[in-house]
Amino acid sequence: MDVRGAATGLNCFRGALSICHRPVPAVSAEDVRRGWSLLSLQAQGESINMKLLAGVCIANANVLAVFLRVTLIGALMQQKESDRWREGNGLRDKVFEVAATWPLPRGVENADLPAFVAALTFASLAPLCWLRDRYNHRAKARHSRAARYA
């Protein structure tokens, strides 16, 4: 299933709200995590009770935006090599953090999944870049001290 397939499952909303092509606002990463936990337990094709989803979100959360961002994660997990985003029985924290705030200016149906994967990859590597930069800084300092004494 791709993003279009996930969004097509929203037919019950499409006629009334026409949400698939509208911008999806950012939401709390914790709401996305809780929404994923709830919705990943449901059988595929089972209808979604938005009241249940609202019950796991923080007060005044945009439940529909949370739902759409969870469907984005669902599309991601259908991709090849999706195991790299798993951690134990769940998903890595970065998946929820990026999915919660990643820009969706034309709705989830028009999401650029390869760009989403690239954003996840970059977010996952950012701490490693900091560590690399710190190591390089220390190496330069050692080299300059050694040059002073040479």
Average pLDDT over residues 11-28: 66
Average pLDDT over residues 138-143: 54
C-alpha distances (whole Å) from 35 to each of 15, 97, 108, 116, 136 are 24, 13, 16, 19, 41
For the chain, the domain total comes to 1
What is residue 134's three-state secondary structure?
A: helix
Average pLDDT over residues 111-132: 76
Domain that holds residue 14: 3-149
Average pLDDT over residues 114-135: 71
